């Protein structure tokens, strides 16, 4: 695969090039090592594409997993505690998990453990590879990357998406770069409040 387009939100790409140029090259290298055409293994059963061979999200994800894992990128979970009381949540978000749980219990509420997980993390940079359903991208951008940034675990997030030219040869419901670029831009310059690099990939 190769990079077809990049959008830098809140100087995400510039941050990578200045502070983590080695990791930026690593991300580009992983993308370049993925053989997209070897992942064209899915026989479509959809009426509009009956019998066509499509790119398999599972195969592409496995290829990216292999590339990033070999380069030392690891999955990371950020655990936290929640409850139904809005006032408590507003006061404890930036506290440690143990402090969150204690504060909820002391207020007489049930603490509920939850977490956000990111695909790959290395040196305070998070990467999400999204070939699943289009709704997952918003969760990555506005929940995962933002949560890790606010929790001071990352300095920048990277989102890797298929561009339309690739999405056309995949099952329906898959995200594509051009649509999610608009989704970010129309929120305004400061939303989400985390530096991001949106990368569109093509075969």
- Our CA angle for 86, 89, 94, nearest 5°, is 155
Amino acid 93: pLDDT: 84
pLDDT tens, 58-95? 999 999 999 999 999 999 998 999 999 999 999 998 89
Q: What percent of the chain stands above pLDDT 70? A: 100
**Which residue(s) pair with 196 in the sheet?**
9, 157
**Is 203 in contact with 8 (CB distance < 8 Å)?**
no
Q: What are the extents of the domains in the chain? A: 2-75+121-202
Q: Is CATH 3.40.91.20 the classification given to domain 2-75+121-202?
A: yes
Q: pLDDT class for 45, splitting at 50, 70, 90? A: confident
Amino acid 51: pLDDT: 74
Residue with tokens 């590339």: 67
Amino acid 107: pLDDT: 95
Please report which helix (H) or strand (E) contains residue 129, including its range: strand 125-129
pLDDT tens, 131-185? 988 889 999 999 999 999 988 999 999 999 999 999 999 887 899 999 999 999 9
For the chain, give the mean pLDDT.
Answer: 93
162: phi then psi, degrees, rounded to nearest 5 = -70, 145
Residue closest to 42 by CA, chosen among 26, 25, 54: 54
Q: pLDDT class for 191, splitting at 50, 70, 90? A: very high
State the angle between helix axes of 21-33 and 57-70 in degrees (0 to 180), rounded to the nearest 10.
140
């Amino acid at each position: 695969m190769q990079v077809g387009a990049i959008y830098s939100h809140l100087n995400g790409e510039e941050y990578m090039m200045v502070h983590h140029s080695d990791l930026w090259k690593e991300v580009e290298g992983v993308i370049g090592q993925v053989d997209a055409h070897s992942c064209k293994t899915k026989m479509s059963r959809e009426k509009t594409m009956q019998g066509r061979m499509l790119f398999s999200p599972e195969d592409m994800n496995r290829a990216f997993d292999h590339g990033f894992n070999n380069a030392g990128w690891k999955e990371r979970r950020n655990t936290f505690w929640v409850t139904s009381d809005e006032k408590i949540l507003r006061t404890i978000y930036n506290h440690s998990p143990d402090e969150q749980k204690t504060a909820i219990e002391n207020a007489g509420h049930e603490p509920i453990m939850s977490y956000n997980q990111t695909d790959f993390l290395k040196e305070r940079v998070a990467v999400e590879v999204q070939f699943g359903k289009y709704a997952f991208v918003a969760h990555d951008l506005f929940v995962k990357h933002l949560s890790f940034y606010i929790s001071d675990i990352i300095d920048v997030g990277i989102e890797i998406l298929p561009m339309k030219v690739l999405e056309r040869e995949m099952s329906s419901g898959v995200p594509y770069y051009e649509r999610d670029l608009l989704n970010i831009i129309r929120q305004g310059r400061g939303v989400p409040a985390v530096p991001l690099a949106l990368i569109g990939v093509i075969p």
